[in-house]
Amino acid sequence: MMDPWTGYGGVGDYATSNGNVASVRDAAHLIRDGLPPDLTESIEDTGEEYDLIIIGGGFSGMGAAYQFHKQNGGTGRCLMLDNHAVFGGEAKQNEFDVDGYRLYGPQGSNDFGPPPAGSSSLIADIYRDTGLPFEYEFVDQDRAQTTVRAPLENYYGMYWEEERYDTGYFVGEGAEARWVINPRQDNLARLPWPDDFKEELNRVFRDEEQFYEGADLDRWLDSMSYKELLEDVMGYSPRVTEYFDPVIAISMGGVGADVYSAYSAKDLELPGTQAPYRYDSSQDDHDVGVYSFPGGNTGIIRHIVKYLLPDSIEGSATFENILTNPIDFSALDRSGQSLRIRLNATAIDVSHEGPTESAEHVNVTYYREGRISRIRAKAVVMSIGGWVARNIVSDMPAAITEAYEHFHHAPVLVVNVALRNWRFLDRLGISSGRWFDGFGDFFSIRRPMITGDSTQPFDPDKPIIMTFYVPFNYPGYSIEEQGALGRAELLSKSYGEYEAKIIEQMTRMFASSGFDAQSDIAGIVLNRWGHAYISPQPGFHFGTEGNEAPKDIVKRGFGRVQFGHSELSGYMSHTRALTEGARAAAQLLEEVLS
């Protein structure tokens, strides 16, 4: 029976693990609100002991596991605890069977850029060891079927590379033209917006002015919000800030520009940060260098897991098999393996066994299937977000506890809509779209990656996945309130309520071009991520008033516990997550496991 809050999860191994499903939500809230006495009084000590326990099975956890494996030559004892039914964190996929095609969409973590093949970086090592290709091919476009230009990943129809692909702005029923297609081709001339506003946007898009000459540009940017940079330094009106608010909220920050560090906006190559995004019409799609696997960065996670646990994904280690074959869940937590992955296991307490300075072990207590168990390890990597870590590491030093008070997080909803056809988009001439009222803000389809026999079609008369990234943006409130208000909205509605909103919005935008929800939609999956993004406020990166940056305090760890997660870089990406997880494991291997 389908849970009315979680809703339909698609098919395949990920059908019970679409975002933070009800069971994950309930287990997390159990920790937040306190466990009932009957559970806390019946903790089972399993007697298990490991060299390293990793809390969290996303990219940072995999980075820690990879580092442990590399430095121990595949020996040692490592256990990964993950609170979901499938490993991967936000790097999971939704799967649909539609009219004879298996379709894949990203639950969250989406795009990647391969490192240079000759690089000696951690990421390049992971590619080489796990068999990830350094080059990819995509379905050739048959212009007799469609002339619509679609990105090779899900974000580049919005702001970045918007000129390269066919993006429409939906400007509403009352406008003379409901959709304005490729508005930047003629400098926004066809948009029914005030001329002075369009002039401002064109100037900010050109981004030709330099506003700071000092050598400490990054620290200067981190001293203000992006709204302050746009309005107080660059002289733009609040309307320009409002244009960029959803861009920040969808892509990385989850909050408004009014509370978001201008240095973090530099990571996004936004105007005024002296790291400008530039569209180069001489490049082809491959030259842009940003791609997506059919199921987003699930493809990378699956390669790492297959490398660490060869039996974890059925079949030989070919590219297509790793992307599409079933997971052998029985192979994840086998006794005797150097790495074990234990799913549906929610860590509820982590603490040293005795005084931190002299302890030789760390106790880890976790909740699974109605029972609480305790295990121990020589060291622990916390590869989960700070909003969890600060609640379950019970002997955390005051300095780290206080530093974590400066970590703020915001939600996003990722919706994958399986379409039986996309002829209505072809009639409009778009692959991506933005709108400025109603439910959501941005959608995209993609030109598919070639993955062998499982390659998805790119034909308007055949099925495809349309992905919506839905922000919950509350500019004008404090950074704490923006995240809390967004989560309240994300969590308050049932699947049926969201389904109705999505269908209503799609009908509003596409009915005039032939869209019919009843016949064209094959399935809708919601992926709710309550703490999807770190939201770095001014001072997060370099500190304020001469004080050390909060993230640097946390990265020191304490005793036999180390913290590794992409939020410690202020930017939630798979490469930074892998890097932070590997760093945390390397520190423990050097300091307490050598």
Span 463-480, pLDDT tens digits: 999 999 999 989 999 999
Domain ranges of the chain: 43-87+332-406+541-591
CA distance 56 to 347: 9
Span 225-247, pLDDT tens digits: 999 999 999 999 999 999 999 99
Span 308-324, pLDDT tens digits: 999 999 999 999 999 99
Residue 102, pLDDT > 70, answer yes
CA distance 440 to 454: 30
Give the torsion through C-alpha atoms of 565, 566, 572, 576, to 10 deg. Answer: -140
Cα 516 to its chain centre, rounded Å, is: 31
Tell me, what's the pLDDT at 25?
80
Paired tokens of 403 = 């530093």
What DSSP assignment string belongs to 382-440? E-S-HHHHHHHBTT--HHHHHHHTT--EEEEEEEEEEES--HHHHHHT-SEEEESSSS-
- Does residue 431 contact residue 148 with C-beta atoms inside 8 Å? yes
What's the mean pLDDT when you consider all of the chain?
Answer: 95
Single-letter amino acid code for the residue at 550? P
- Choice among 27-41, 413-427, 500-514, 540-554 with the minimum mean pLDDT: 27-41
CA distance 117 to 131: 12
Residue with tokens 């090779």: 152
CA distance 186 to 1: 52
CA distance 118 to 316: 26
Span 147-201, pLDDT tens digits: 999 999 988 999 999 999 999 999 987 766 799 999 999 999 999 999 999 999 9
Tell me, what's the pLDDT at 470?
95
Strand duo 561-563 + 346-352: pairing: unpaired
CA angle 257–443–132, rounded 5-degree value: 95
Span 280-309, pLDDT tens digits: 999 998 899 999 999 999 999 999 999 999
Paired tokens of 333 = 């937590």
Tell me, what's the pLDDT at 31?
64
- Does residue 537 contact residue 477 with C-beta atoms inside 8 Å? no
Comparing C-alpha atoms, which of 12, 14, 199, 5 is closest to residue 92? 14
Helix/strand number for the chain, H first, E second: 20, 16
Q: What's the farthest any 2 CA atoms get from each other in the chain?
A: 74
Q: How far is CA 155 from CA 106, 381, 582, in A?
A: 12, 31, 27
Which residues on adjacent β-strands are paired with residue 434? 169, 442
* Answer CATH for 43-87+332-406+541-591 from 2.40.30.10, 3.40.30.10, 3.30.70.120, 3.50.50.60: 3.50.50.60
Tell me, what's the pLDDT at 24?
81
Above pLDDT 70, what percent of the chain?
97
CA distance 331 to 100: 30
Query: CB atoms < 10 A from the CB of 3, how many?
Result: 14
Span 420-471, pLDDT tens digits: 999 999 999 999 999 999 999 999 999 999 999 999 999 999 999 999 999 9
CA distance 263 to 270: 10
Average pLDDT over residues 141-150: 97
CA distance 370 to 37: 13
Paired tokens of 388 = 């969890």
Span 27-82, pLDDT tens digits: 776 666 666 556 666 789 999 999 999 999 999 999 999 999 999 988 899 999 99
Span 555-566, pLDDT tens digits: 999 999 999 998
Cα 429 to its chain centre, rounded Å, is: 29
Residue 71: phi, psi to the nearest 5? Answer: -80, -15
Cα 560 to its chain centre, rounded Å, is: 28
Tell me, what's the pLDDT at 152?
96
Per residue, what are the HEC states of 117-144? Answer: CCCCCHHHHHHHHHCCCCCCCECCCCCC
Which residues on adjacent β-strands are paired with residue 327? 313
- Choice among 24-28, 34-38, 131-135, 544-548 with the minimum mean pLDDT: 34-38
CA atoms within 13 A on the CB side of 576: 12
Q: CB burial class (10 A; 0-12, 13-18, 19+) of residue 493?
A: middle
Average pLDDT over residues 352-359: 97
